[in-house]
A and B are shown apart, each in its own frame.
Chain A
Amino acid sequence: MRTMAETLADYPFFAGLDDEAMALVAGCATNVHLAADEFLFREGEPAERFFLVRQGRVALELHAPGQGRVVLDTADDGDVVGWSWLVPPYRWFTDARAVVPTSATAIDGACLRGKCDQDPVLGYQLLQRVAVVMYARLQAARVRMLDLYAAPGGSRV
């Protein structure tokens, strides 16, 4: 059986963290397994955790009258899901649904926030990593806003 610290070390997200920091993070982590179509979280719920996808696929979705459910983004092996745990009011902005049977590592956000408050060096290292993920997702969202593959002059959807 692998230790949680070993499991965490496989995620690119944590690459470069020292053993002490990994041990702190591992103290807040649990492994979860989801069946296909099971939700990790729902829009509006308190955001107490975030997830790293070990194997599987998670879709971030919103539903809108007339449009049904729309998939905003997907997270695959190694990807991070959720940063609402880090930003007030700590509530999920979207739904997160396992598209296929998915195993993931859940990190207790409230626990980690507390540790980061006590240890600003750890906090900075984690925030740097979250910033990279957020930046990539924001960039991708901006480019997708251009709807580059749309027919010229055509309407979206």
Chain B
Amino acid sequence: MSESAQEASADLDALVATGLAGLVPRPFRVDRSRRETADTVTLTLAPVTGGSLEFAAGQFTMLGVPGVGEVPISISGDPTWPDALQHTVRDVGGVSHAIASARAGDVLTVRGPFGTGWGVGDGEGGDVLIVAGGIGLAPLRPALLELLAHRHRYRTVTLLYGARTPQDILFAEELAGWRGRFDLEVELSVDYAPPSWRGRVGLVTALIASVAPEQTLALVCGPEVMMRFVTTELLHRGVPAGQIRLSMERAMSCGVGLCGHCQLRELFVCLDGPVFRADRVLGLMAVEEL
């Protein structure tokens, strides 16, 4: 083989190896399945072989069931303790039903982690405001855990969480613990509640109290309409759009920008996102059926 042919062959081997690493899954065993709500569980996974999955808060994986299929699911675990890979999965479709039904000992497949993270560290020295709606708390839990792991580096840390009903509140025990902390402000609100509910009822935006706009990094995740509404409120309060980060969701098949499904105009949500600066996606979110 000539020198250039050898080079070309080495280049090809490298390309193929990188490609296969992203597109061929690894088997992970379910260590534990914890029921969060009627339709949502948190799975703790460990690799069948090989090392644990290092990830950044806000990233996702393509989580699959052999013979059924895969879907993009945010990692909901602790980025400072990647040995336990956690996903909080809502049973809303064929594949997610199969995943949510997995029991301890079952084997799932994992590709990733993929996508951009929250960039929590960018908020160091300032205030961090987390606004979550519904299942949107799952991808924000790693951000909060990272903040708490390095709590002294930040000024105020606030979690505002809107859920549908008191029964739909995720991580309920952990939330109770967070509410008891003196270095963390936690407010939650539900859309529907019986009179026995002592908490707040209303939209999550109503929870936004006074902010120091220039010093605030806002991390927002929830249904797109909720994120638009929260962003409008934060902009109204003077938080620069560049300091508001949103986690977008679109259909995904490959997770690495090759299949085309997740395109939001020029953006590949899987690759350029899922976490975007608000000023990058606000205009795109305004276009119907984009």
Q: Which A residues form the contact surface with B (CB < 8 A)?
A: 57, 59, 61, 68-74, 76, 97, 99-100, 136, 139-140, 143-144, 146-152, 156-157
Contact = CB atoms under 8 A, between A and B. Distances in A.
Contact of B164 (A100, A140, A150): A150
Interface residues of B, number: 32
Given A69-B195, A70-B194, A143 B134 contact: no
Closest 10 A-B residue pairs measured CB to CB? A149-B134, A140-B203, A149-B164, A148-B223, A74-B201, A71-B193, A69-B195, A71-B201, A74-B200, A144-B191
Given A70-B194, A140-B205, A143-B225, 7 more contacts: A69-B195, A74-B189, A74-B200, A74-B202, A147-B191, A148-B134, A150-B164
Contacts of B197: 71
Interface string B173-215: 0000000000000000101111101111111011000000000
Contacts of A59: 195, 201
A10 to B, nearest CB: 14
A149 B92 CA distance: 12
B201 A149 contact: no
A61 B195 contact: yes
Residue among A59, A72, A147, A148 with the most chain B CB within 10 A?
Answer: A148
B231 to A, nearest CB: 13
B192 A70 contact: yes
Interface string B28-47: 00000000000100000000
B164 A143 contact: no
B162 A143 contact: no
Contacts of B133: 148-149
Nearest to B189: A74
Contact of B225 (A57, A140, A146, A152): A146
Contacts of A61: 195
Nearest to B229: A143
Interface of B: 39, 90, 92-93, 133-135, 162-165, 168, 189, 191-195, 197-203, 205-206, 222-223, 225-226, 229
B163 A149 contact: yes
Contact of A140 (B92, B193, B206): B206
A70 B191 CA distance: 11
A151 B200 CA distance: 22
Contacts of B195: 59, 61, 68-69, 71, 97
A144 B229 CA distance: 11
8 contacts: A57-B198, A68-B195, A74-B189, A74-B200, A147-B191, A148-B134, A151-B92, A152-B92
A71 B165 CA distance: 11
Nearest to A156: B192
Contacts of A151: 39, 90, 92
Given A71-B197, A149-B162, A151-B39, A144 B92 contact: no
A150 B168 CA distance: 10
Residue among B135, B189, B192 with the most chain A CB within 10 A?
Answer: B192
A117 to B, nearest CB: 32
